[in-house]
């Protein structure tokens, strides 16, 4: 007995990775990955260029500040010496010649300082000196420079409050540069005859304050942050910002000027030589100064 032979269709289903939908999904995923990698590449290049641009801008700003603190101020001091020599020439040529020789020596010194400033190796504060000694040295040096040849010199006083503490060398450097600009403005532009320097050491902050009896600063100039084409005040604020400090200026025409620099204690004081506060303090973090007082 024979049975009819019937053919049964054999259906073999494709695996999921063999389906057109899976291939389309893989193609889309590869395309998205390529786009993400491309965008990541662009982001890294943009970030790299931005960092290089910021570094170049910071270096240009540093050089501008150094030149202002050395070359321009030295030139102004030289101009004062040449004026005195010119006024003395007719009455006493021999003294005028000595003044010119001293001015030439000062010009050589200014040239050396400017070269060191550009190379970034000049230090305003003497090595190993405390903050009070460094500021006093700067103040006496500026009086000798600006008041050269004058019979009456400004009266100065230095007051230290609290227990003196070791200040971070970088903070001392920047504070001395800010102080030099403030003192230069007081003696040269405001014609101050009395200067009070106050340094306060506290567990919460370090404060450096200058008071003078000069002609003061016009309210319009104070409101604009300085005179046009003059970068001294701008440089002071930039330096204070770089060390996370606060710079405050009070003045009134005819009543003198007061400049105050306040720096948080955990930034200002060098408690541990191996400790670098900049590693533990975010650059963009704002210090709440109301909590320091």
pLDDT band (50, 70, 90) for residue 130: confident
pLDDT band (50, 70, 90) for residue 276: very low
CATH code for the domain of 173? 3.30.565.10
The answer to whether position 167 is within a domain reads yes
- What range does the domain containing 225 cover? 149-293
Q: In this model, does residue 273 exceed pLDDT 60? A: no
Residue 170 contacts residue 191 (beta carbons within 8 Å): no
The answer to whether position 264 is within a domain reads yes
The answer to whether position 217 is within a domain reads yes
Which are the contacts of 110, defined by CB distance < 8 A and separation ≥ 6? 70, 71, 74, 75, 77, 78
The answer to whether position 177 is within a domain reads yes
The answer to whether position 180 is within a domain reads yes
Structure tokens at 190: 């405001």
Q: What is the mean pLDDT of residues 119-128?
A: 52
Q: What is the mean pLDDT of residues 248-274?
A: 82
The answer to whether position 160 is within a domain reads yes
Q: Which stretch of 35-44, 71-80, 250-259 has the lowest confidence by average pLDDT?
A: 71-80
The answer to whether position 225 is within a domain reads yes
Query: What is the rounded distance in angstroms from the CA atom of residue 136 to the CA atom of residue 155?
Result: 13
Query: What is the rounded distance in angstroms from the CA atom of residue 173 to the CA atom of residue 243?
Result: 11
DSSP E strand stretches across 30-176 = 155-161
pTM score, whole prediction: 0.56
Q: In this model, does residue 212 exceed pLDDT 80? A: yes
Alpha helices by DSSP H, listed for the chain, are: 20-67, 73-89, 93-119, 131-146, 169-184, 219-224, 232-242, 265-268, 277-280
Query: What is the rounded distance in angstroms from the CA atom of residue 208 to the CA atom of residue 36?
Result: 52
Q: Which stretch of 86-90, 180-184, 202-206 has the lowest confidence by average pLDDT?
A: 86-90
The answer to whether position 79 is within a domain reads no
> How many domains are contained in the chain?
1
**Which phi and psi (to 5°) does residue 283 adopt?**
-65, -35
């Amino acid at each position: 007995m024979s049975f009819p032979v019937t053919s049964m269709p054999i259906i073999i289903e494709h695996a999921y990775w063999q389906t057109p939908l899976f291939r389309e999904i893989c193609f889309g995923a590869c395309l998205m990955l390529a786009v993400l990698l491309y965008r990541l590449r662009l982001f890294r290049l943009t970030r790299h260029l931005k960092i290089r641009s910021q570094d170049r801008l910071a270096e240009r700003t540093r050089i501008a500040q150094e030149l202002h603190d050395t070359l321009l101020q030295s030139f102004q001091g030289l101009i004062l010496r040449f004026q005195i020599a010119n006024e003395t020439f007719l009455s006493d040529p021999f003294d005028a010649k000595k003044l010119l020789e001293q001015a030439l020596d000062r010009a050589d010194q200014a040239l050396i300082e400017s070269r060191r400033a550009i190379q970034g190796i000049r230090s305003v504060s003497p090595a190993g000196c405390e903050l009070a000694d460094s500021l006093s040295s700067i103040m006496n040096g500026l009086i000798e420079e600006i008041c050269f040849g004058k019979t009456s010199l400004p009266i100065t006083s230095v007051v230290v409050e609290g227990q003196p503490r070791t200040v971070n060398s970088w903070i001392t450097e920047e504070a001395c540069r800010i102080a030099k600009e403030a003192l230069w403005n007081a003696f040269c532009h405001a014609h101050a005859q009395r200067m009070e320097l106050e340094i306060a050491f506290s567990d919460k902050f370090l404060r450096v304050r200058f008071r003078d009896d000069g002609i003061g600063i016009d309210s319009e100039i104070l409101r604009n942050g300085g005179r046009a084409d003059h970068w001294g005040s701008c440089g002071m604020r930039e330096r204070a910002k770089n060390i996370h400090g606060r710079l405050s200026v009070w003045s009134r025409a005819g009543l003198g000027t007061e400049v105050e620099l306040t720096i948080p204690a955990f930034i200002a004081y060098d408690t541990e030589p191996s400790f670098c506060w900049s590693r533990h303090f975010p650059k963009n973090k704002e210090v709440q100064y109301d909590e320091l007082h």
